[in-house]
Amino acid sequence: MSLDRIIRILLVDDHPMMREGLRSTLEKERDMKVVGEASDGDEALRAFRDLVPAVTLMDIQMPRIDGLQTIADIRREYPRASLVMLTTFSGDARVCRAIELGATSYLLKTASSEEIVRAVRLAADGKRAFTSDVSEEVSAYRGNETLSGRELAVLRLVAQGHTNRSIGDTLLVSEDTIKTRMKSILAKLGANDRAHAVTIAMRRGFLSPP
């Protein structure tokens, strides 16, 4: 570890206790300094503009503007930003979407202090890090088909308890079209029925938990 460089870190999480815990963990490291905090995506973008941190450690599930949108917003203005996602949600679809948008790394909040510190150091050098459970989740579904935007729209309404007819009315398509899309959704997810499809979609990150 070189003490010539201090890694400046921005913490983004809507839970103050989580930010406090992360700050305590990171500032035990002689080469790290938390320079700012934010509680949602809008605050995060403003703080990033003011501070231009070396690494941003950010939750995905936040009020108003979530972490995925915040990744896109920050990377649009700062293409080389290093963003480490720290979240309670795994799921290959959510992880892949975060990486597509520009996240450097993806860790679960169950990660150890050592894993978080290591990920921050790697991110500061432009390198990726994943906890083993995240890597296993992505590897398990590598090569599987993803759901289309139209299929996701149908599945979100299924999760809300709508019937095929109600979904068709909402999306302005026929009930038969909804039935066809549901068959495709079940096949892609390997689901037995509608409820099973919703469960799988939430676990894999296609849908957010309620």
Domain ranges of the chain: 7-140, 149-204
Output the CATH code of domain 149-204. Answer: 1.10.10.10
Listed residue (112, 104, 111, 107) closest to 128, CA to CA: 104
Q: What is the pTM assigned to this prediction?
A: 0.67
pLDDT tens per residue across all 210 residues of the chain? 445 689 999 999 999 999 999 999 999 999 999 999 999 999 999 999 999 999 999 998 888 888 888 999 999 999 999 999 888 766 656 777 787 788 888 888 888 999 999 999 999 998 887 765 555 555 444 445 577 888 889 988 999 999 999 999 999 999 999 999 999 888 888 888 999 888 888 877 777 766
Q: Determine the pLDDT at residue 143.
A: 46
CATH 3.40.50.2300 is the classification of domain 7-140: yes
Q: Determine the pLDDT at residue 86.
A: 85
Q: Determine the pLDDT at residue 135.
A: 54
Query: Would you say 37 and 63 are in contact if contact means Cβ atoms under 8 Å apart?
Result: no
Same fold, 7-140 and 149-204: no
Calculated CA dihedral for residues 69, 75, 77, 80, nearest 10 degrees: 160
Q: Determine the pLDDT at residue 209.
A: 65
**CA 184/CA 177 separation, integer angstroms:** 11
Looking at the DSSP bridge assignments, the partners of residue 126 are none
| Burial class of residue 176 in the structure, from the number of CB atoms within 10 Å of its CB (0-12 exposed, 13-18 middle, 19+ buried) | exposed
The angle, 0 to 180 degrees and rounded to 10, between the axes of the packed helices 149-159 and 164-171 is 130
106: left (phi over 0), alpha (psi -120 to 50) or beta: beta
